[in-house]
Amino acid sequence: MKQYQVKEVRRAALKDRQDKLEWKVDSLYDKLHQFYGTQELVLKANKLDAIELMNSDALEDKILALRRILLEDPTINCLLHPDKLSIEVAALEEIFSELCTRRQIEEDLHNSIQQKMDEKHNEYIQEIKLQILKEQKNSPENAQTLKNLGRLEKMENINLSKTVLDILRPAAFDEIIGQDKAIKALVSKLNTPYPQHILLYGPPGVGKTSCARLALELVKDRKQNCFSKEAPFIEVDGTTLRWDPRESTNPLLGSVHDPIYQGARKDLADEGIPEPKPGLVSDAHGGILFIDEIGEMDAALQNKLLKVLEDKRVFFESAYYDPHNERIPRYIKQMFEQGVPSDFVLIGATTRSNEEINPALRSRCMEIFFDPLTAEQIRNIVKLSAQKLNIGIQEGVSELISDYADDGRSANKLLVDAYSIALNKNDTDEGILVVGQHEVQEAIQNSRINLNIDNKASDETEVGRIFGLGAHGYRGRLLEIEAITFPAEPKGEGRVRFNDTAGSMARDSVFNAASVIRSEFGENIYDFDLHINFIGGGKVDGPSAGVAIYLAILSAMKGKPIRQDIAVTGEISIQGRVKPVGGLHEKIHAARQAGIKKILIPYDNREDISADWCGMEIIPVAYIRETYPHVFI
């Protein structure tokens, strides 16, 4: 009875082990199905000759199939001893576990790679697109791009207007009126193997910019100059030049685009490399840099420009530049270490006086002065512009315009305004359009333009009234000064009154005149109530009206009439000397415009101008008494 029980127990234990082993094998097959997928598992088993073994009812065959599949070896034909099948299954479970672990690691690595690729996906796609577009030989155009191109071309063909000043701008030197001396001086300073920097002074609208541009084109065709046929003419307005003292932007000299703050070119910014950007001084290398209104430039920027004129190159600096970085392109290294060539001729134009220009800049430049235009020259400009516009002008139109305009640009603007008025009045397109005085007068009224000349000379004489001469901004002005006297009550307690707006210089000239009159004639001005008036008001900037004030006071006190076709300029000293003044050319231009026949100037200014300039008589005087025969009747 006991032996039977032992056998039953053994048989039950064996069956239990067999069942557990089968469960493990079945579980392993289930996991393989999940791991590979049913279809892939079948294909793999077929490849390894394990299909029949998998479908067998024998546990040993199933285990053999598992071994072939997991070890990927179709030549395996035997197993361990039947009593050791559990050990075989445990080994297969270990192999499967390693396989699962390997796949998990590969999936994690794949996910990490995919994540990085997703982060760079858009950037990679964009770079690939650009590369493909560059390498693509066929046209990148499609229906939409061609439609947009057609619209742009259509817009290019639509022009509402032309800039009339471009049409009327001088295209040759013979079209620049009244500046023969300045043109000759400018060409001579450029047409040499050693051209100098130049400053052009003069009022606006007289042709300074046009002269500079035409001068370069002229000297290019001559042998003795250093300009090539391709020499550039770079033009910029000094009033619009803006720069950052931190050097983050400087259109004139150039700047450095740092990779963090401004962002250099993308491929350079990614490497942390700063990128220098040359400015206009480098664009002008080998040619001319023309700066209009150079006197309006920032003083610090002018000093930086002076350094470029000395070095003939621009140097760049950046805290991000590392000379040992092998990734920096050679051209950037050269720009930082050697600078960028900037060898050019500077031509600066200004309406300021030369005393207002930076002395260091003046010392490096030759100076050329452009003259104000006379009424006759303005009339010639009007006639020339009418020819360019292909219109006719009635008699008297050019004379009328010259009364209201004192430079070529103003005259052209007035003519064009009158032209547009006449064009809108003309109902037919037949014949040449003619501009008359009526249209010019309408244009003058529309723009509210005042007469260019306030005062006119005459053949009459007047007591206590005289013309002085002033100048400001390269424009002369006729000053009308008048004086009147009354006996003081009581005597010796007279009062002196004059325009407060005339300034301290006029006040000093009155007191100087009082001292000279007392010295010359023994007369005390305080025996009179004296009133001096500067007609039209305005501040007298300098002492040059001193002689005119003296003569007006003397005429009023003595009752002596003064010629009204004469003008005087000069400072008067308390010893009766006539001292030199500035702005003589501009003053004489203004006198000529007003019809003055004779001008008295200081003796020390006699070399500044010829004795018979522009058809007027010019008399130099050293002492105030020398003026009496010319002024009084």
In the predicted structure, residue 623 carries a pLDDT above the cut 90: yes
Is 154 part of any domain?
no
- pLDDT recorded at residue 1: 45
pLDDT at 194 over 50: yes
Number of domains in the chain: 4
* Predicted local distance difference test score (pLDDT) of residue 185: 92
> One of 210, 342, 385, 544 is an active-site residue; which one?
544
- Cα distance between residue 239 and residue 162, in whole Å: 25
- The answer to whether residues 357 and 501 belong to one domain is no
Say whether both 328 and 470 belong to one domain. no
Residue 577 lies in a domain: yes
Between residues 261 and 391, which one has the greater pLDDT?
A: 391
Question: Does the pLDDT of residue 443 top 70, yes or no?
Answer: yes
Query: Is residue 364 located within the same domain as residue 382?
Result: no
- Residue that finishes a domain, picked among 393, 416, 447: 447
215 and 362 fall within a common domain: yes
CATH number of the CATH domain containing 434: 1.10.8.60
> Across the chain, what does the average pLDDT equal?
82
- Together in a domain, 437 and 471: no
Q: How confident is the model at residue 233 (pLDDT cuts 50, 70, 90)?
A: very high
On whether the CB atoms of residues 510 and 532 are closer than 8 A, the answer is yes
What's 228's domain CATH number? Answer: 3.40.50.300
Which residues lie below 8 Å from residue 575, measured CB to CB, with a gap of 6+? 516, 519
Answer yes or no: is pLDDT of 139 > 90: no
What tens digit of pLDDT does each residue of 382-413 get? Answer: 999 999 888 889 898 998 888 888 888 889 99
Residues 300, 398, single domain; the answer is no
Q: Looking at the domain assignment, is residue 486 inside a domain?
A: yes
Q: Are 546 and 580 in contact (CB under 8 A)?
A: no
Question: Looking at the domain assignment, is residue 158 inside a domain?
Answer: no
Q: Which pLDDT does position 561 carry in this prediction?
A: 94
In a domain, 454, yes or no: no
pLDDT in tens, 149-188: 788 888 877 776 667 777 888 888 888 888 889 999 999 9
Two structure tokens written together for 406: 């004192």
pTM above 0.85, yes or no: no
Q: What share of the chain is helix, strand, coil (3-state, %, to 5)?
A: 50, 15, 35
Whether 1 is covered by a domain: the verdict is no
Q: Which of 386, 418, 447 is at the close of a domain?
A: 447
Q: What percent of the chain has pLDDT over 90?
A: 21
| pLDDT at res. 141 | 66
Query: Are 386 and 346 in a shared domain?
Result: no
Whether the pLDDT of residue 611 is over 60: the answer is no
Q: Which residue has the tokens 């080994």?
A: 91
> Of 396, 418, 447, which closes a domain?
447
- Would you state the pLDDT for residue 452? 64
CB 530 within 8 A of CB 562: no
- Are 232 and 340 contained in the same domain? yes
- What pLDDT, on a 0 to 100 scale, did the predictor assign at position 365? 92
Q: Is 510 in the same domain as 570?
A: yes
Same domain, 69 and 183: no
Annotated catalytic residue, options 402, 587, 597, 610: 587
Q: List pLDDT tens digits, range 32-53.
A: 788 877 888 788 778 878 787 7
In the chain, the amino acid numbered 112 is S
Same domain? For 472 and 600 the reply is yes
Tell me whether residue 134 is in a domain. no
Q: How confident is the model at residue 453 (pLDDT cuts 50, 70, 90)?
A: low
- Is position 587 annotated as part of the catalytic site? yes
* Contact (Cβ atoms closer than 8 angstroms) between residue 578 and residue 623: yes
pLDDT category of residue 488 using cuts at 50, 70 and 90: confident
pLDDT mean over 345-362: 90
Q: What is the pLDDT of residue 148?
A: 81
The answer to whether residues 224 and 326 belong to one domain is yes
Tell me which residue range forms the domain holding 62. 13-108
When pLDDT is cut at 50, 70 and 90, the band that residue 332 belongs to is confident
Q: Is 132 a member of any domain?
A: no
Residue 356's DSSP bridge partners are none
**Three-state secondary structure along 27-71?**
HHHHHHHHHHCHHHHHHHHHHCCCHHHHHCCCHHHHHHHHHHHHH
